[in-house]
Chains A and B, each alone.
Chain A
Amino acid sequence: MNTPAVRCQNLQKHFGEGDTRIEVLRGVDFTAMAGQLTFLLGPSGCGKTTFLSVIADLLECSGGVVKLFGRDIRSVPAAERVRFRRANLGFVFQQCNLLPSLTATENAAVPLLAAGARRRDAFDRARELLTRLGLGDRLDTLPSRLSGGQQQRVATARALIHQPRLILCDEPTAALDHRAGEAVMELLAAAGLAPDRAVIVVTHDTRLLHFAHSIAKMDDGRIVEVATRDPVSNQPGPALS
């Protein structure tokens, strides 16, 4: 039986104080199971990105609890949190956020290098992964000379290279056409999922929902609806309204 990869209870986040205080997350209850690909939908400004940042421990929440693989990482020292994030989280961003000065191989290798791996080992691993992702002929190419789809594949390789247990994706296909988007999602589903791993994808692209095991809809700082795939038929459960 799958265990929760992410569990949030009554999660709150506000910015500013007094008259300028803005409530972005208003008590989010959310669970993403290990071994599943969870989609997070919602209109712009509903708090999806803030929610993702809080899960990733890049933003402090104002209240509530976030547990990653059963561990409330806010209860551990800052340095250990950095190590935890480095070892267990992978990111795919809407803008890719590749370092423009690094080649595809070097970009993909960054998480391993950050963890202290030897450069040669990290590069070998990155080359191998990029080749598997169809970029074998672009290994030494700078991001500026890659297409949007290729850049996103490099970013995906960077998110996968250290085999993180949780991959967080923010609009990973927004800059891609449908075919390239499908390809990226296939990669994430194939390489990012395992019984002890999970993928959470924030997206507006409803054409990709067939990849989801679970879909949470967010609005006005709360999760307002959750739909899950039927475990027997493997078909989507009750449709989101």
Chain B
Amino acid sequence: MNFVAWKMLLHDRAKYLGLVFAIAFSTFLLENQTSIFAGILKRTASQILDVTDAEVWVMEPSSQYFDDTKPMRDTALLRVRGVPGVRWAVRLYKGLPVARTSTGHFAQSIVTGLDDATLVGAPRRMVLGSWERLREPDSVIVDRAGYFLLFPGEPLALGGRLEMNDHIGIIVGISEASAPFVSFPVLHARYSVAVNFQGQGRNQLSYVVVRSADGIALSELCARITAQTGLRARKTDEFAWDCIQYYLRNTGLPVNFGITIAIALVVGTVVAGQTFYLFTVEHLRQFGTLKALGVSNPRLVAMVLLQAFTVGLIGFGLGTGMAALFFEVSHLKIVTRGITLIWQTVALTGSCMLLVILLASYLSVRRVLVLDPAVIFRS
């Protein structure tokens, strides 16, 4: 009887398409908004995650998230190195100087100062040049998006000059750094160079990044560093989540996106659920006929479920395809780079749509099960 269920479903084209597109657009909205939301939140931690060598980040105890740094004394580095279980520890500077070009363009920039000796934290994905050239005097690496911001309309090229705090930085590489939360250029330089790009205070050290010795758990190492130095030590993923949670708690992002996501869910549930329910109600006489002709209740339930899951799967597939197409196009743009359709949002949306389908099916199935087949004798 499956083909009867399908034929019933497809016969009413307008309702069938209405159902499919209700679920498709709901899916698209949910996947689109949750992925953008997740992408933006991930940006708050992008500078942390880009330092792939670091396992533990050490900072002033009052620091809450990456952009909120209180400089430490340089001696903090030595104190951290003295903690048992630390294989190596290097310093990392983070500043927000204003960079100017010779043509007069300027932009506030995120400068990361890397340990002079090891260059731990140097960008791994290079578009032009190489990160090893950071060893050259006054050298900086700028990210591709930042380059277009500082040198609008100009092709990517090395050798350009940036002036920050009366210091010159010469571009020796162009990287593909992960997009930051705010659309500032991302610069990398040696620590000793980077600290000059901003007005200097008594303390300069933003972070100490640490690699653990073999055989020690990171959480144990963090606890040791905190106990021994009084500084805050967080595993890389913990620190990334600290940033994400800070923005969740202190910005309107979750409310704004939450409203859109809730609307998408409600619209999807109401429109798709109600349309499917009405579809079943309008076909009750046909179900009654089948019931009178001896089609059993379990078979009728299977037919309703088949109809619901058919529109659900097609709608979900279409919606996911639309979302994938959207991100396929948008990730090529500078401002939306790095925001992609992630499998978690697809899974989450799929679960939501499954619930919508199950709810609509439940309501429809109830009507079919309590249907009095004698209805067919009534004209």
Q: Does A91 contact B (CB under 8 A)?
A: yes
Kindly report which residue of chain B lies nearest to residue A115, judged by CB atoms: B294
Q: A82–B374 contact, CB under 8 A?
A: no
User: Whole-angstrom distance from the CB of B300 to the nearest CB of chain A?
Assistant: 10
Q: A99–B294 contact, CB under 8 A?
A: no
Kindly report which residue of chain B lies nearest to residue A94, judged by CB atoms: B379
**Alpha-carbon gap, A53 to B374, bound state (A):** 6
Given contacts A110-B4, A114-B299, contact A86 B377 (CB under 8 A): no
Q: Which of B140-198 contact A (CB under 8 A)?
A: none
Q: A97–B372 contact, CB under 8 A?
A: no
Total chain A interface residues with beta-carbon distance under 8 A: 33
Interface residue stretch chosen among A31-39, A64-72, A100-108: A100-108
Q: A83–B376 contact, CB under 8 A?
A: no
Given contacts A101-B11, A102-B7, A119-B3, contact A110 B376 (CB under 8 A): no
Q: Does B262 contact A (CB under 8 A)?
A: no
Q: B11–A100 contact, CB under 8 A?
A: yes
Q: Does B289 contact A (CB under 8 A)?
A: yes
User: Which one of A79, A91, A106 contacts B296 once the chains associate, using CB atoms below 8 Å?
Assistant: A79
Q: Which of A28-80 contact B (CB under 8 A)?
A: 49-50, 52-53, 56, 58-59, 79
Q: B376–A82 contact, CB under 8 A?
A: no
User: Which one of A91, A94, A100 contacts B293 once the chains associate, using CB atoms below 8 Å?
Assistant: A91
User: Which one of B292, B299, B372 contacts A91 once the chains associate, using CB atoms below 8 Å?
Assistant: B292
**Alpha-carbon gap, A102 to B297, bound state (A):** 21
Q: Is the interface of B mostly helix, strand, loop or mixed?
A: helix
Question: B4 to chain A: which residues have CB within 8 Å?
Answer: 99, 101-102, 106, 110, 113
Q: Does B49 contact A (CB under 8 A)?
A: no
Q: A101–B8 contact, CB under 8 A?
A: yes
Question: A187 to chain B: which residues have CB within 8 Å?
Answer: none
Q: Does B329 contact A (CB under 8 A)?
A: no
**Alpha-carbon gap, A49 to B1, bound state (A):** 28
Q: Which of B362-376 contact A (CB under 8 A)?
A: 372-374, 376
Q: B293–A110 contact, CB under 8 A?
A: yes
Q: A58–B292 contact, CB under 8 A?
A: yes
Q: B374–A58 contact, CB under 8 A?
A: yes
Q: Does B216 contact A (CB under 8 A)?
A: no
Question: A93 to chain B: which residues have CB within 8 Å?
Answer: 289, 376-377
Question: B285 to chain A: which residues have CB within 8 Å?
Answer: 97
Kindly report which residue of chain A lies nearest to residue B298, judged by CB atoms: A79
**Alpha-carbon gap, A196 to B313, bound state (A):** 49
Given contacts A79-B296, A106-B7, contact A114 B377 (CB under 8 A): no
Question: A91 to chain B: which residues have CB within 8 Å?
Answer: 292-293, 376
Q: Does A85 contact B (CB under 8 A)?
A: yes
User: Whole-angstrom distance from the CB of B78 to the nearest CB of chain A?
Assistant: 80
Q: Interface code B279-301, partner A: CB below 8 Å = 1, 0 otherwise?
A: 00000011011101111110100
Question: B297 to chain A: which residues have CB within 8 Å?
Answer: 82
Q: Does A221 contact B (CB under 8 A)?
A: no
Question: A181 to chain B: which residues have CB within 8 Å?
Answer: none
**Alpha-carbon gap, A79 to B294, bound state (A):** 10
Question: A85 to chain B: which residues have CB within 8 Å?
Answer: 292, 294
Q: B299–A56 contact, CB under 8 A?
A: no
**Alpha-carbon gap, A53 to B296, bound state (A):** 17
Q: A52–B294 contact, CB under 8 A?
A: no
Question: B376 to chain A: which residues have CB within 8 Å?
Answer: 58, 91, 93, 95, 97
**Alpha-carbon gap, A100 to B285, bound state (A):** 11
Q: Which of B344-379 contact A (CB under 8 A)?
A: 372-374, 376-379
Given contacts A100-B11, A101-B7, A101-B8, contact A110 B290 (CB under 8 A): yes
Question: A82 to chain B: which residues have CB within 8 Å?
Answer: 294, 296-297
Q: A111–B293 contact, CB under 8 A?
A: yes
**Alpha-carbon gap, A52 to B373, bound state (A):** 12
**Alpha-carbon gap, A56 to B295, bound state (A):** 14
**Alpha-carbon gap, A86 to B297, bound state (A):** 13
Q: A114–B1 contact, CB under 8 A?
A: yes
Q: A87–B294 contact, CB under 8 A?
A: yes
Question: A53 to chain B: which residues have CB within 8 Å?
Answer: 374, 377
Instruction: List the 4 closest pairs (A to B, CB-CB), nearest first.
Output: A86-B294, A101-B11, A53-B374, A101-B7
29 contacts between A and B (CB under 8 A): A53-B377, A58-B373, A58-B376, A59-B372, A82-B297, A83-B294, A85-B294, A86-B293, A86-B295, A87-B294, A97-B376, A99-B8, A100-B286, A101-B4, A101-B7, A101-B12, A102-B7, A106-B4, A110-B4, A110-B293, A111-B293, A113-B1, A113-B4, A114-B1, A114-B290, A114-B293, A114-B295, A119-B3, A170-B377
Chain B residues close to A by CB (< 8 Å): 1, 3-4, 7-8, 10-12, 285-286, 288-290, 292-297, 299, 372-374, 376-379
